Amino acid sequence: MSQVHTLRSYVLGSWHEASSDFVPLVDPSTEEEIARASSSGIDFQSVLKYAREHGGPSLRAMTFAERAAMLKELSKALRDHRDELLELSRRNAGTTDADGAFDIDGAGGTLAYYASVGKKLGHRHALADDDGTQLAKTEAFWACHARVPRHGVAVAINAFNFPAWGLAEKAACAWLAGVPVIAKPATATAWVTERWVEILLETGVLPDGALQLICGGTGDLLSHLGSQDLLAFTGSADTALKLRGGDNLQRCSTRVNVEADSLNTAVLAPGVGPDDDLYGLFIKDVCREITQKTGQKCTAIRRIFVPRDLLDAVQHDLVVRLRKTVTGNPGDESVRMGPLATAQQLFDAEHGVDELEGDGAVKIYGSGKRCDGVGSEKGKGFFFGPVLLRLDEPVDAELVHTREVFGPVATLMPYDGKAEQAARFVALADGTLVTSVYSDDAAWLAEFTAGASPYTGRIYVGSSGSAGFGSGAALPQSQHGGPGRAGGGSELGGLAGLDPYLQRIALQGDRAVVESLLGAETEDSTTS
Ligand code: NAP
C-alpha cells in the first residue's frame, strides 16, 4: 500500500498540518485510502482577519491591469503543471484524462480569460458603469454609477466534482475585483486543490493573504462573515439551504451566491428526424452529457424531451451509443468513463434510480447498480454504468423533475411537439442551470425561448450551423447560474462575473469632480 498523504491547509501565510480528526480520501477506482484531511487547530477568525488586513489591501492597491497580469501568470503555472494535476485527478477523483482536462484546462482557461478582461480595464481602481446623467439645470449636479472593490473576503466553498475549475471561476473574478479568497474545496477531492494552490503560491505573484486554503471543515468560519464579505457556494441545494440561513449572514446582509442542483433539460424540436445531421448532433450531445465526468456535472442533462412520435427512435439511438461507454479504471486505455467519486455518490446514485423508478420511470438501459470496472479488481471501486430511463407521461411524475441523480442517469420523455409545452416541461424543474434545444425552426425556437428563459440560466441552441460544442461547459464568457432550485446565483459571464465582489455606488456632484474621481488611470507598473 502506498503512503497516505496528509493534506495541509494554507492559512496566515504558512502551511498548517492538523494532528487529529482526519477524514480519509480514497481512490474511487480501488477504494484504497490515499490521503486524509482535517482542519483541526485552525483559528478561523484569524484566517478572516488575515485576509482582510493583508490580502485585501494589497489587492486593492493594484489596478485592474496589474491584477490581470497576475491572473495571466497563474494561468501559465497551471498549464505548466497540467500533466501532474491530471494524474492526481485520476487518483483522487477517478477522472479519465479527458474528464480531468475538463476541470484543469477549464480552470486555466478561466484565469486566462479574466486576465484578458482585466487588461482591457486598464490601470484604474474603479469601474464607471455609465456616462452619467445631469440631475439639475446645469452640470453642477451630475450623477454616475461606479463599482469599487468591497473590503471583505470571498469564502469559496466548492463541490467535489470540480476541484480546480470550481476554485478558478470564483477566484479569477474575486482577485480581478480586488478581493482575497479563502478556498474550501470538498474534502473528497481536495488533494487536487491542495496541489493546485501550492502551484499558485509558488509563482510568487499572489500578494500575501490573497489566497488561503482550508482542507477539511470550516469550523466557525462562516459565523464570522460580515457585511463586506461574500459566501460563494457551489454544492447541493440541501447544504445551500443550511448555510445561507446563518444568523450573521442575514443580520449583516452578507452576500451569498449559490450554485446548486439542477435538472437540466435537452429538447428536440419537431421536424428534426433520424436522417438529419442535427438529429445526430442531438444524440451525440445528449450521450456526452450523460457520461462526461460520470454524470457528475452540474450542467449534465437529466431530462430529455422529444416529440412523442420520435420517442422509440431516440430511445433506440441513445441506447446504441451509450452501449459504447466502457466503464472502469481510468488507468486502463479502453476506459471512457471512470467511477463515481465517492462511496456516498454511489449510494446516492443507486437510490436515486430506485426513486425515479418508484415514481413511474422505466429503466431502458443500465442496471442502476454498482458494477465492476474494466481494469479494476472485482468488487472494488465505485463504478456505475450509464442509465437511461423512460417516462411516457411526464406530468404524472414529480421526482423526475425534482430529484437530481448526480451520476450518468437521464430520463427520456415525450411532449406534443409544441414549443409551449416543451417550455412548460422545462419549467417543471423549478429553475435550472442550462437548457439545450435542437432545431432549425426560428419561429419555434423564438416561442420556446420566450417560455423557457425565466426558468433557466442559459439556453444552448443546437442548429445545423452550430459548432457542436454541446451545453456542458460553463464558459467564462457566459453566465453560469440559474434561478430557483439551481440556487438563484450568477457567476462568470464576462465583466458581470465581478459584480458579486464589487460595490455599486452612485456618485453625485459637479460633473468635473465626479468624472475626475472615476476617470483616472494610474501609471502602468506591470511588466507584461
Ligand atoms: P455538498 O455535499 O453540498 O458539498 C458542497 C461543499 O459544501 C463541500 O465543500 C462541502 O465540504 C461543503 N459543506 C458541506 N456542509 C458544510 C457546512 N455545514 N459548512 C461548510 N461547508 C459545508 O455537495 P457535493 O456533494 O460536494 O457536490 C454535489 C452537488 O453540487 C450536486 O448537487 C451538484 O448539482 C452541485 N453542483 C452544482 C454546481 C453549480 O455550479 N450549480 C457545480 C457543481 C456541483 P465537505 O466536502 O468537507 O463536506
Q: How far apart are CA 503 and CA 456, in angstroms?
A: 26
> In this predicted structure, what is the pLDDT of residue 517?
84
Percent of the chain with pLDDT over 70: 98
Is 144 annotated as catalytic?
no
Q: How far apart are CA 513 and CA 352, in angstroms?
A: 61
CA of 345 to the centre of ligand 1 (A): 12
Is 173 annotated as catalytic?
no
What's the pLDDT tens digit per position in 376-399? 999 999 999 999 999 999 998 999
Average pLDDT over residues 166-188: 98
Q: Domain 5-260+489-505, what architecture?
A: 3-Layer(aba) Sandwich (3.40)
What's the pLDDT tens digit per position in 141-162? 999 999 999 999 999 999 999 9
Average pLDDT, whole number, for the chain?
Answer: 96
Q: How far apart are CA 90 and CA 107, in angstroms?
A: 16
Residue bearing the CA closest to ligand 1, atom 26: 159
> In this predicted structure, what is the pLDDT of residue 516?
87
> In this predicted structure, what is the pLDDT of residue 522?
56
Phi (first) and psi of residue 362, to 5 degrees:
-115, 130
Query: What is the residue whose three cell numbers read 506591470?
Result: 526
Cβ(433) to ligand 1 under 6 A? Answer: yes
What's the pLDDT tens digit per position in 333-375? 999 999 999 999 999 999 999 999 999 999 999 999 999 999 9
Q: How confident is the model at residue 56 (pLDDT cuts 50, 70, 90)?
A: very high
- Residue 316 CB contacts under 8 Å (≥ 6 apart), including other chains: none
Cβ(453) to ligand 1 under 6 A? Answer: no
Query: Looking at 215, 298, 350, 491, which residue is catalytic?
Result: 298
- CA dihedral (143, 146, 152, 156) in degrees, to 10, reads 140
Q: How confident is the model at residue 527 (pLDDT cuts 50, 70, 90)?
A: very low
Q: Which atom of ligand 1 is nearest to the CA of 345?
A: 25
Q: Say how many C-beta atoms besides its own lie within 10 A of residue 230's C-beta.
A: 23
Adjacent-strand bridge partners of 21: none
The verdict on pTM exceeding 0.85 is yes
Cα–chain-centroid distance for residue 443? 32
Hey, which of 92, 160, 257 would you mutate to test ligand 1's pocket, going by the most ligand atoms within 8 Å of its Cβ? 160
Q: Which atom of ligand 1 is nearest to the CA of 157?
A: 9
Domains of the chain, residue spans: 5-260+489-505, 264-477
Average pLDDT over residues 35-42: 98
The CATH label, of 3.30.420.40, 3.20.20.150, 3.40.309.10, 3.20.20.80, for the domain at 264-477 is 3.40.309.10
Q: How far apart are CA 151 and CA 212, in angstroms?
A: 16
> In this predicted structure, what is the pLDDT of residue 520?
58
Query: Looking at 73, 169, 194, 259, which residue is catalytic?
Result: 259
CA of 31 to the centre of ligand 1 (A): 21
What's the pLDDT tens digit per position in 92-134? 999 999 999 999 999 999 999 999 999 999 999 999 988 899 9
Q: How confident is the model at residue 526 (pLDDT cuts 50, 70, 90)?
A: very low
What's the pLDDT tens digit per position in 60-84? 999 999 999 999 999 999 999 999 9
Q: How far apart are CA 214 and CA 17, in angstroms?
A: 11
